[in-house]
Amino acid sequence: MRFGTGCVVLLALGLAIACGRQPSVPETASGNAQKLPFDRASRGSGVSPTNSLVPAATRMPEGTSIAIRLRAPLSSASAHAGGTFDGTVDEPVVDEGQALIPRGAAVVGRVLDARPSAGNERGYLRIALVSVQVSGKTVLVDTSSIFAKAGARDPAAAKGGAGKEVVLTADRRLTFHLVQAVDLP
Protein backbone atom coordinates (compact mmCIF):
# COMPACT_ATOMS: atom_id res chain seq x y z
CA MET A 1 0.00 0.00 0.00
CA ARG A 2 2.92 2.31 0.75
CA PHE A 3 4.40 1.64 -2.63
CA GLY A 4 1.14 2.60 -4.43
CA THR A 5 0.80 5.84 -2.45
CA GLY A 6 4.43 6.77 -3.15
CA CYS A 7 3.92 6.22 -6.90
CA VAL A 8 0.85 8.47 -6.91
CA VAL A 9 2.76 11.22 -5.03
CA LEU A 10 5.73 10.98 -7.43
CA LEU A 11 3.44 11.05 -10.46
CA ALA A 12 1.58 14.13 -9.13
CA LEU A 13 4.88 15.88 -8.36
CA GLY A 14 6.20 15.12 -11.84
CA LEU A 15 3.05 16.52 -13.48
CA ALA A 16 3.22 19.69 -11.37
CA ILE A 17 6.84 20.32 -12.37
CA ALA A 18 6.15 19.62 -16.06
CA CYS A 19 3.14 21.93 -16.14
CA GLY A 20 5.00 24.75 -14.39
CA ARG A 21 7.81 24.94 -16.99
CA GLN A 22 7.68 27.36 -19.92
CA PRO A 23 7.59 25.58 -23.27
CA SER A 24 10.74 25.88 -25.25
CA VAL A 25 9.91 28.22 -28.15
CA PRO A 26 12.85 29.26 -30.27
CA GLU A 27 13.53 33.00 -30.28
CA THR A 28 13.50 34.62 -33.71
CA ALA A 29 15.09 37.78 -34.91
CA SER A 30 12.62 40.68 -34.95
CA GLY A 31 13.17 41.31 -38.67
CA ASN A 32 11.86 37.98 -39.86
CA ALA A 33 9.16 37.30 -37.25
CA GLN A 34 5.97 36.01 -38.83
CA LYS A 35 2.89 38.11 -38.00
CA LEU A 36 -0.34 36.48 -37.02
CA PRO A 37 -3.43 37.25 -39.17
CA PHE A 38 -5.00 39.52 -36.55
CA ASP A 39 -1.78 41.56 -36.35
CA ARG A 40 -1.96 42.54 -40.01
CA ALA A 41 -3.15 45.93 -41.18
CA SER A 42 -6.52 46.04 -42.93
CA ARG A 43 -6.44 45.78 -46.72
CA GLY A 44 -9.46 48.06 -46.97
CA SER A 45 -11.61 45.43 -48.67
CA GLY A 46 -14.09 43.15 -47.02
CA VAL A 47 -16.65 43.80 -44.32
CA SER A 48 -15.69 45.80 -41.29
CA PRO A 49 -17.10 44.31 -38.10
CA THR A 50 -18.37 47.76 -37.13
CA ASN A 51 -20.44 48.17 -40.31
CA SER A 52 -23.86 46.61 -40.44
CA LEU A 53 -24.42 43.79 -42.90
CA VAL A 54 -27.95 45.13 -43.47
CA PRO A 55 -28.01 48.26 -45.62
CA ALA A 56 -29.56 51.36 -44.10
CA ALA A 57 -33.16 51.90 -45.15
CA THR A 58 -34.29 55.05 -46.88
CA ARG A 59 -36.84 56.70 -44.63
CA MET A 60 -39.73 58.83 -45.83
CA PRO A 61 -40.47 61.17 -42.90
CA GLU A 62 -43.80 61.90 -41.27
CA GLY A 63 -45.58 64.82 -42.94
CA THR A 64 -44.20 64.07 -46.42
CA SER A 65 -46.67 65.13 -49.16
CA ILE A 66 -47.70 62.62 -51.82
CA ALA A 67 -49.55 64.17 -54.76
CA ILE A 68 -51.47 61.69 -56.90
CA ARG A 69 -53.80 61.58 -59.90
CA LEU A 70 -56.81 59.26 -59.90
CA ARG A 71 -56.96 56.65 -62.67
CA ALA A 72 -60.76 56.36 -62.61
CA PRO A 73 -63.62 58.51 -61.28
CA LEU A 74 -64.74 58.08 -57.70
CA SER A 75 -68.29 59.00 -56.65
CA SER A 76 -70.21 59.09 -53.37
CA ALA A 77 -73.13 57.55 -55.29
CA SER A 78 -71.26 54.29 -55.97
CA ALA A 79 -68.33 54.11 -53.52
CA HIS A 80 -68.57 52.05 -50.34
CA ALA A 81 -66.48 52.03 -47.16
CA GLY A 82 -63.68 49.50 -47.61
CA GLY A 83 -63.59 49.94 -51.38
CA THR A 84 -60.34 50.83 -53.14
CA PHE A 85 -59.20 53.22 -55.83
CA ASP A 86 -56.06 53.42 -57.98
CA GLY A 87 -53.86 56.32 -58.93
CA THR A 88 -50.32 57.35 -59.83
CA VAL A 89 -47.83 59.64 -58.13
CA ASP A 90 -48.18 62.99 -59.93
CA GLU A 91 -44.80 64.48 -59.00
CA PRO A 92 -41.67 62.85 -57.55
CA VAL A 93 -41.59 62.62 -53.78
CA VAL A 94 -38.31 64.26 -52.68
CA ASP A 95 -36.72 64.61 -49.24
CA GLU A 96 -33.50 66.59 -48.69
CA GLY A 97 -32.73 66.52 -52.41
CA GLN A 98 -33.12 62.72 -52.66
CA ALA A 99 -35.89 61.34 -54.88
CA LEU A 100 -37.79 58.78 -52.79
CA ILE A 101 -40.69 57.91 -55.09
CA PRO A 102 -40.66 58.56 -58.84
CA ARG A 103 -43.47 60.23 -60.78
CA GLY A 104 -45.85 57.64 -62.19
CA ALA A 105 -45.46 55.15 -59.31
CA ALA A 106 -48.71 53.23 -58.73
CA VAL A 107 -50.71 53.93 -55.57
CA VAL A 108 -53.73 52.27 -54.00
CA GLY A 109 -56.18 54.09 -51.79
CA ARG A 110 -59.08 53.04 -49.62
CA VAL A 111 -62.54 54.55 -49.19
CA LEU A 112 -62.79 55.04 -45.44
CA ASP A 113 -66.38 56.25 -45.51
CA ALA A 114 -68.94 57.08 -48.18
CA ARG A 115 -72.56 58.06 -48.24
CA PRO A 116 -74.73 58.78 -51.25
CA SER A 117 -77.13 61.70 -51.13
CA ALA A 118 -80.51 61.01 -49.57
CA GLY A 119 -83.34 63.54 -49.38
CA ASN A 120 -81.80 66.89 -48.46
CA GLU A 121 -78.52 65.26 -47.30
CA ARG A 122 -75.62 65.60 -49.68
CA GLY A 123 -73.26 62.73 -50.39
CA TYR A 124 -69.71 62.59 -49.06
CA LEU A 125 -66.45 60.62 -49.33
CA ARG A 126 -63.49 60.13 -46.99
CA ILE A 127 -60.43 58.52 -48.63
CA ALA A 128 -56.77 57.81 -47.79
CA LEU A 129 -53.75 56.15 -49.43
CA VAL A 130 -52.77 52.68 -48.22
CA SER A 131 -49.85 51.67 -50.47
CA VAL A 132 -47.36 52.85 -53.07
CA GLN A 133 -45.13 50.88 -55.45
CA VAL A 134 -41.42 51.67 -54.93
CA SER A 135 -38.69 49.77 -56.80
CA GLY A 136 -41.16 47.04 -57.71
CA LYS A 137 -42.26 46.51 -54.10
CA THR A 138 -45.51 47.43 -52.39
CA VAL A 139 -44.91 49.77 -49.44
CA LEU A 140 -47.76 50.24 -46.97
CA VAL A 141 -48.35 53.86 -45.98
CA ASP A 142 -50.47 55.60 -43.36
CA THR A 143 -51.68 58.96 -44.70
CA SER A 144 -54.05 61.72 -43.76
CA SER A 145 -57.53 61.35 -45.19
CA ILE A 146 -59.36 63.65 -47.58
CA PHE A 147 -62.98 64.43 -46.83
CA ALA A 148 -65.20 65.79 -49.61
CA LYS A 149 -68.87 66.69 -49.25
CA ALA A 150 -71.09 67.62 -52.17
CA GLY A 151 -72.13 71.24 -52.47
CA ALA A 152 -74.71 72.87 -54.70
CA ARG A 153 -73.23 75.18 -57.29
CA ASP A 154 -76.47 77.06 -57.66
CA PRO A 155 -79.79 76.90 -55.77
CA ALA A 156 -81.77 75.86 -58.86
CA ALA A 157 -79.49 72.84 -59.47
CA ALA A 158 -79.76 71.79 -55.82
CA LYS A 159 -83.57 71.67 -56.05
CA GLY A 160 -83.35 69.38 -59.05
CA GLY A 161 -81.01 66.98 -57.26
CA ALA A 162 -77.86 67.97 -59.18
CA GLY A 163 -74.76 68.62 -57.11
CA LYS A 164 -75.78 66.30 -54.29
CA GLU A 165 -73.06 63.72 -55.00
CA VAL A 166 -69.29 64.03 -54.70
CA VAL A 167 -67.63 63.10 -57.98
CA LEU A 168 -63.85 63.02 -58.18
CA THR A 169 -63.04 62.74 -61.87
CA ALA A 170 -60.33 60.62 -63.45
CA ASP A 171 -57.06 62.61 -63.50
CA ARG A 172 -58.17 64.57 -60.43
CA ARG A 173 -55.11 65.64 -58.43
CA LEU A 174 -55.21 64.91 -54.68
CA THR A 175 -52.52 65.45 -52.05
CA PHE A 176 -52.08 63.21 -49.02
CA HIS A 177 -49.61 63.58 -46.13
CA LEU A 178 -47.83 60.77 -44.28
CA VAL A 179 -49.08 60.39 -40.72
CA GLN A 180 -46.22 58.04 -39.84
CA ALA A 181 -42.67 57.76 -41.25
CA VAL A 182 -42.08 54.73 -43.47
CA ASP A 183 -38.97 52.82 -44.58
CA LEU A 184 -38.56 52.38 -48.33
CA PRO A 185 -36.76 49.53 -50.10
DSSP secondary structure string, 73-121?
-EETTT--TT-EEEEEESS-EEETTEEEE-TT-EEEEEEEEEE--BTTB
For the segment 37-55, the average pLDDT, to the nearest whole number, is: 57
pLDDT of residue 115: 96
Residue 114 three-state SS: strand
Average pLDDT, the chain: 82
pTM of the model: 0.66
Higher pLDDT, 120 or 108: 108
Higher pLDDT, 105 or 21: 105
Let me know: does 178 contact 80? Beta carbons within 8 Å. Answer: no
Distance, in Å, from the CA atom of 4 to the CA atom of 32, rounded to the nearest integer, reads: 51
H or E segment to which residue 12 belongs? helix 2-20
pLDDT of residue 138: 97
| pLDDT of 160 strictly over 50 | no
The Cβ-side half-sphere exposure at 87, using a 13 Å CA radius, reads: 30
Higher pLDDT, 42 or 100: 100
Indicate the pLDDT class of residue 157, thresholds 50, 70 and 90.
Answer: very low
Distance, in Å, from the CA atom of 51 to the CA atom of 47, rounded to the nearest integer, reads: 7
Specify which of 51-60, 107-116, 162-171 reaches the highest per-range mean pLDDT: 107-116
Contacts of 81 (CB under 8 A, 6+ apart): 111, 112, 113, 114
Indicate the pLDDT class of residue 151, thresholds 50, 70 and 90.
Answer: confident
Sign of CA pseudo-dihedral 118, 169, 67, 86? positive
Length of the chain (residues): 185
Distance, in Å, from the CA atom of 110 to the CA atom of 146, rounded to the nearest integer, reads: 11
Let me know: does 154 contact 71? Beta carbons within 8 Å. Answer: no
Output phi, psi for 149, to 5 deg.
-120, 140
Let me know: does 179 contact 66? Beta carbons within 8 Å. Answer: no
- Which tens digits make up the pLDDT trace of 125-146? 999 999 999 999 999 999 999 9
Higher pLDDT, 155 or 52: 52
What domains sit in the chain, N to C, each tagged with a CATH number? 59-184 (2.40.128.260)
pLDDT of residue 33: 57
Distance, in Å, from the CA atom of 98 to the CA atom of 92, rounded to the nearest integer, reads: 10
Higher pLDDT, 156 or 136: 136
Region of poorest pLDDT, from 84-88, 118-122, 153-157: 153-157
